[in-house]
């Protein structure tokens, strides 16, 4: 039977987060969930003990699976999970559980209200942010402002890793991306979220932005300045491609 919700969790060198209990928190919530689900973890070519730890954790858990990918970056990792997912709806959530899976309870009601995409947000009224350094918060606000001015008016937080889609819609949107989001050398998130939501707006899908709780976890895998510049270039490319009409045949 098709599950109600497919939960996609990308993983890359997550040994530290595993030992902090991130998957135990996910499992604890799902034991009490009122909906049917499948949980798909996609490893992005981790170089530590992530794969071994995940395999041991999921071996006796029904509806959990691990997919091992070569290292390609977060966009390609999530894309793999999306195409494997069988659920009616698909949720992305980060391995570190910066936004706890239980926050999906805030997103699900919006599906009944006719929304096609529900975006967890750290910026709209009612959101809660914990332990975030001031400079990271400021950088995020500047990036979000740029995104709104250039590509996505009305969406205040495109980069929160907690998004819910109707399955048919997200599978379709991933197939229509024009920007190459692969990364083969290091960890990189990129601005694929911006391109996906930009296409969604152009296609007229209804998008809800819902406040969630989020906690900052320090990591050395990402360079805030270099990655922010690369993401900014991606946002410019989205607008440039749109001006060239490259998205028109996709709508």
In this predicted model, what pLDDT tens digit does every residue of 170-228 receive, in sequence order?
Answer: 999 999 999 887 776 666 667 899 999 999 999 999 999 999 999 987 665 666 677 77
- How many residues in the chain? 251
Domain count, the chain: 1
Q: What is the mean pLDDT of residues 86-98?
A: 97
Report the sign of the C-alpha dihedral through residues 102, 139, 202, 153, in that order: positive
User: Is a pLDDT exceeding 80 seen at residue 134?
Assistant: no
Per-residue confidence (pLDDT) for residue 231, from 0 to 100: 85
In angstroms, the CA 42 to CA 69 distance is: 7
Per-residue confidence (pLDDT) for residue 39, from 0 to 100: 98
pLDDT tens track for 40-79:
999 999 999 999 999 999 999 999 999 999 999 999 999 9
User: Is a pLDDT exceeding 80 seen at residue 137?
Assistant: no
Q: Is residue 159 within 8 Å of residue 188, measured between CB atoms?
A: no
Containing structural domain, residue 25: 5-250
In angstroms, the CA 157 to CA 236 distance is: 17
Q: What is the mean pLDDT of residues 2-7?
A: 97
User: Is a pLDDT exceeding 60 seen at residue 25?
Assistant: yes
Q: Which residue has the higher pLDDT, 132 or 77?
A: 77
| Residue 32's CATH number | 3.90.550.10
């Amino acid at each position: 039977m098709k599950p109600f919700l497919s939960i996609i969790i990308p993983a890359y060198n997550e040994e530290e987060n595993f030992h902090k209990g991130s998957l135990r928190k996910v499992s604890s919530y799902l034991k009490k969930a009122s909906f049917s689900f499948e949980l798909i973890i996609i490893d992005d070519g981790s170089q530590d003990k992530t794969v071994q730890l995940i395999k041991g954790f999921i071996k006796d858990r029904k509806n959990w699976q691990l997919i091992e990918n070569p290292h390609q970056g977060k966009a390609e990792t999530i894309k793999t999970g999306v195409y494997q997912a069988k659920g009616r709806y698909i949720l992305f959530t980060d391995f570190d559980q910066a936004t706890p899976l239980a926050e999906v309870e805030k997103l699900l009601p919006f599906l009944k209200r006719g929304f096609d995409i529900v975006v967890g947000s750290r910026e709209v009224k009612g959101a809660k942010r914990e332990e975030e350094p001031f400079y990271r918060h400021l950088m995020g606000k500047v990036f979000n402002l740029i995104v709104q001015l250039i590509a996505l008016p009305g969406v205040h937080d495109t980069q929160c890793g907690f998004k819910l889609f109707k399955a048919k819609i997200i599978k379709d949107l991933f197939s229509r991306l024009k920007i190459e989001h692969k990364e083969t050398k290091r960890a990189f998130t990129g601005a694929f979220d911006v391109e996906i939501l930009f296409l969604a707006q152009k296609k007229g899908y209804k998008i809800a932005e819902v406040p969630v709780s989020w906690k900052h976890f320090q990591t050395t895998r990402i360079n805030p300045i270099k990655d922010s510049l690369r993401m900014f270039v991606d946002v410019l490319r989205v607008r440039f491609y749109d001006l060239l009409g490259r998205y028109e045949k996709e709508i």
